[in-house]
A = this chain, B = another copy of it.
Amino acid sequence: MKDQLKNHILKFVSPPESDLQTFLDAMTFETLKNKESLIKQGQYCKHQYFILKGCLRSFFVNEKGVEKIVNFGIENWWLTNIDSFINQTPSKLNIQAAEDSIVLKINKQKLDTILKDSLELNRYFRIILEKVRIADQRRIQFIYNLSGEELYSIFCKHNPDFVQRVPQYMLASYLGFTPEFLSKIRGRKKI
């Protein structure tokens, strides 16, 4: 199954076989049942995760006990709490499986060692981060400029499969709605 990650890397860069093998050898599998946690608020996030199968979400629980979803990740996405991972501070987010999932993970020490030497793997992570930055920037623009209904409509257009996979209350949380508001929008769209 590590071939799935190998193919993802080779879509973007062309590392020497030895770099690629060292990187893949450093990655280990973790299997999660739906709702099982990878990271809990307050723990240190020591790994980057590449999702082979399933769906994960990162979220926090606010003072009112309401769950707020910050990110989702599905197959072939990298996911971590980057703040905790890079700065080695306690995580303010939980990462939990939203379906039965399988991930590959690499710890910070091993990743840092590999990235000291490998030009192409640095390029790979730089390119991935550029894509992530584009997505974050679009999201901020959408939040600032779209009505709830427009936001939902654009999200569905860009992520049709995803909307089918994820429970509605999670989608509502990710979009910053209450579940009731999302039901109302969906009701209107069917008319």
Which residues from chain A sit less than 8 Å from chain B, CB to CB?
Answer: 60, 62, 68, 70-71, 82-83, 86-87, 92-93, 115-119, 122-123, 125-126, 129-134, 136-141, 143-145, 176
CA–CA, A93 and B134, complex, Å: 13
Taking CB atoms, residues of chain B closer than 8 Å to A176 are 143-144
The 3 closest A-B CB pairs, nearest first, are A129-B129, A122-B122, A136-B136
Partner of A145, one of B60, B126, B132, B145: B60
Q: Are A132 and B134 in contact (CB under 8 A)?
A: no
A130, B86: Cβ atoms closer than 8 Å: yes
Residues of chain B lying within 8 A (CB to CB) of residue A136: 133, 136-137, 140
Contacting pair B130 A60 (CB below 8 A): no
Return chain B residues, CB-CB under 8 Å to A118.
Answer: 119
Question: How many monomers of this chain does the complex have?
Answer: 2
B134 near A86 (CB under 8 angstroms)?
A: yes
| Smallest beta-carbon distance A153→chain B, Å | 15
B134–A133 CB distance below 8 A: no
26 A-B interface contacts by CB (under 8 A)? A60-B141, A60-B145, A70-B140, A71-B137, A82-B130, A82-B133, A83-B134, A86-B130, A86-B131, A86-B134, A87-B134, A92-B141, A93-B141, A115-B123, A117-B119, A125-B126, A126-B126, A129-B129, A129-B132, A133-B136, A136-B137, A136-B140, A139-B140, A140-B143, A143-B176, A144-B176
Cβ contact within 8 Å between A143 and B143: yes
Q: Is the interface of A mostly helix, strand, loop or mixed?
A: helix
Q: CB-CB < 8 A to A143: which residues of B? A: 140, 143, 176
For the complex, give the distance between the alpha carbons of A123 and B62 in Å.
35
Given contacts A115-B126, A126-B129, 16 further A-B contacts (CB under 8 A): A60-B141, A60-B145, A68-B144, A70-B140, A71-B137, A82-B130, A82-B133, A83-B137, A92-B141, A117-B119, A119-B122, A122-B122, A122-B123, A122-B126, A133-B136, A143-B143
